[in-house]
Amino acid sequence: MRPRGVTLVFATVLMAVLLGFLVLAVDVGRVALAKSELQATADAAARYAATGMITSSTKSTTAYNHAALVCADSKVEGRTVTLTSSDVEIGVWNAGTRAFTASNSSNVDAVRVTLSYTVGGAGSVPTFAKALGAGTKTLTVSSVAQATVVTVDVNAPAQGNIFLAGMPDNTQTTNLQGNAWCYDNSGTTADPKQRPKALALTSLGVAAGDLLSFEGLSGQANNGAGALDNGPDGNLSWNVAQGQAYPNSAPTQSSNGIGNLRAPISSCIAVFLSDAAPNGSAAPTSLDFATSASRDYSLLQPALKQTFYVGDGKRLNGEVQHIKVPPGATRVFFGMMDAWQWNDNVGSFNMKMYRSTKIVTVK
């Protein structure tokens, strides 16, 4: 064979080898990129799962719901990652040994999310792998996130008239009704009567701009006179406002400078106040929680003195709801939604108020 022919054959073989290495490099890059996207998804899912889990009474369910929301919004190679309940574990993180132990105990503080993804599973198999007769490549990653939180127990009384919040002892209100039997009284510390439950934000080290979450853990309440008991979400088929049994919209009237609202009767409600009595200035705009969509908020930013709906503290998809503390707030008050005459209501809601302090990816 002539030298020129040998060179041509050698060059052809060399080009094939170089092309093979080039294709291999592309495939390796594709796998590396997919793994990076998968790890980022796992990290985000674990962090959001820990955020929800630490402020929930149904920790496993909430952790999975939060992780699923992240996975549904994330893509690896343009595809959604599949998540099953077994992929999300709650447990305890040991900083000393850097070990995660799955647990359902009351002191859980971490979530581990494990994700698997098959490169080429629903698309093209990596070229070099196909050339070698190989199939798909499955990647598996995991992430552990730890949450620390400050929490305090709260009892929201059914007789707690939110429109008496922050008012002086023995303040009397007719709840926008003229009939004497509608009167309620703020009572005293020793005899609270219809005074709503008060909590100083300093007990949680809370300041303006912090995010809080409230969760109705247990309890039933009703609006009296043989009415049916309801949980913290209230009677979703009956919306009321202060002074109105069947309002067609958010009310414009209120009392004691505290914002009115439209919300399900017997539901848990709250309001932020400063140290001053609320009746020294006009009431803010009334909020409207008459629809499922309005109650299904992820983040709510009420103004000072603007009464808002708490319910059970969760969205319909299981996501924990957050409330942003308004400027000037030093206290938060809890009570039950009613139209008038809180004095004959029965029951209470046992709740927890949380302030998440730190969510960290630890592994």
Please report the pLDDT score of residue 21 as a whole number: 47
Residue with tokens 């609006």: 223
Q: Angle 59-73/3-53 helices, nearest 10 degrees?
A: 140
Looking from the CA of 53 toward its CB, the CA atoms found within 13 Å total 36
Q: Tell me the average pLDDT of the chain.
A: 86
pTM exceeds 0.75: no
Please report the pLDDT score of residue 9 as a whole number: 54
Count CB atoms within 10 A of the CB of residue 288: 19
Q: How far is CA 123 from the centre of its chain?
A: 35
Q: What Å distances lie between residue 309 and 57, 134, 254, 333, CA to CA? A: 19, 57, 16, 12
Burial class (CB in 10 A: 0-12, 13-18, 19+), 21: exposed
Domain assignments of the chain as residue spans, ordered by start: 3-147, 158-361
Please report the pLDDT score of residue 148 as a whole number: 84
Please report the pLDDT score of residue 11 as a whole number: 52
The rounded distance, in Å, linking the Cα atoms of 261 and 241 is 6
Contact 219, 348 (CB under 8 A): yes
The rounded distance, in Å, linking the Cα atoms of 261 and 248 is 12
Determine the length of the chain. 363
| pLDDT-flagged residues of the chain (< 70) | 1-30, 120-136, 216-217, 356-357
| CB under 8 A, 24+ apart: contacts of 186-192 | 186/161, 192/157
The string of pLDDT tens digits covering residues 152-197 is 888 999 999 999 999 999 999 888 887 777 899 999 989 999 999 9
